[in-house]
């Protein structure tokens, strides 16, 4: 399919055409999954299995450290790790989205955003494989889903959408500056300890500023909260919406500015 060059270089045009090219990025994403787990017996369910072992081990350990009832702590930890796994992996892999698609980009004129959507899509597939862990957890701990659980759907949508904007920003910067993936990797290693995943916000007492100023906490909270029966704070929704608007404007502006030169940076 031939895409108008002027439209690709317009503000938001690349992302609009990329979002419409669903057959391309979904096919590329599925192919990445197949190649990654080629000749594997259970494929991406290895991630599910390893996540289950990690959650069980940490849940038993940290519930004693924080003196928290495991009935409430383990579901909290599980959902936190599952959402974090998607966000952190998609963020790290998005850095190389354009570099990994270099051969295609140099031969075929398609929207750059396709390659970011490819990364987000394949990690969302893995996310769907790991989120099933919450089913046996909810059954074991008698967590009955209610209408509140439906709020997790717009929460997941906001996390996915924000990941697309973050992916475009990081992929564009990495194409120009090859040190970006190392910097992002270092930041994400620290962020997991500064984000309420293994530790509950209640452990901070009245000093919740660390969590309130952490955008990752709010993104996780709007997905995790409804599923464990805790309504997310209005602040979390406001931060998630504001973050999406800010990241969208930054991503579109950056991509428009770099689109004419990006292919020469690869």
Longest dimension (CA), the chain: 60
Per-residue model confidence (pLDDT) at position 183: 94
Residue 135, token pair as written in the block: 């089913």
Domain count, the chain: 1
Q: How many CB atoms lie within 10 A of CB 45?
A: 16
User: Where in the sequence is the domain holding 247, given as residue range(s)?
Assistant: 5-265
Could you list the pLDDT tens digit for every one of the 266 residues in the chain?
A: 555 555 555 667 788 888 888 899 999 988 888 887 776 666 667 777 888 888 888 888 888 887 788 888 888 999 999 999 999 999 999 999 999 888 888 888 888 999 999 999 999 998 998 898 888 888 888 888 888 889 999 999 999 999 999 999 999 999 999 999 999 999 999 998 888 888 887 776 677 777 888 899 999 999 999 998 888 889 999 999 999 999 999 999 999 888 888 888 87
């Amino acid at each position: 399919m031939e895409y108008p060059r002027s439209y690709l270089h317009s503000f938001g045009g690349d992302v609009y055409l990329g979002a419409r090219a669903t057959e391309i990025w979904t096919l590329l994403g599925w192919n990445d999954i197949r190649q990654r787990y080629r000749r594997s017996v259970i494929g991406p369910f290895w991630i599910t299995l390893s996540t289950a072992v990690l959650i069980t081990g940490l849940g038993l350990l940290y519930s004693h450290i924080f003196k928290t009832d495991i009935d409430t702590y383990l579901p909290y930890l599980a959902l936190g790790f599952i959402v974090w796994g998607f966000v952190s992996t998609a963020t790290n892999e998005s850095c190389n989205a354009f570099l990994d698609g270099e051969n295609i980009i140099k031969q075929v004129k398609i929207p750059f955003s396709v390659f970011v959507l490819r990364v987000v899509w394949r990690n969302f597939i893995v996310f769907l494989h790991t989120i099933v862990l919450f089913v046996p957890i909810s059954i074991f701990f008698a967590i009955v889903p209610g209408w509140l659980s439906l709020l997790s759907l717009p929460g997941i949508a906001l996390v996915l959408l924000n990941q697309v904007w973050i992916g475009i920003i990081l992929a564009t910067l990495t194409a120009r500056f090859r040190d970006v993936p190392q910097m992002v990797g270092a930041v994400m290693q620290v962020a997991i300890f500064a984000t309420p995943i293994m530790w509950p916000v209640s452990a901070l007492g009245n000093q919740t500023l660390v969590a309130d100023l952490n955008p990752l906490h709010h993104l996780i909270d709007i997905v995790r909260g409804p599923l464990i029966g805790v309504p997310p704070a209005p602040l979390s929704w406001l931060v998630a919406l504001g973050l999406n608007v800010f990241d969208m404007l930054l991503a579109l502006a950056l991509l428009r500015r770099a689109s004419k030169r990006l292919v020469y940076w690869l």
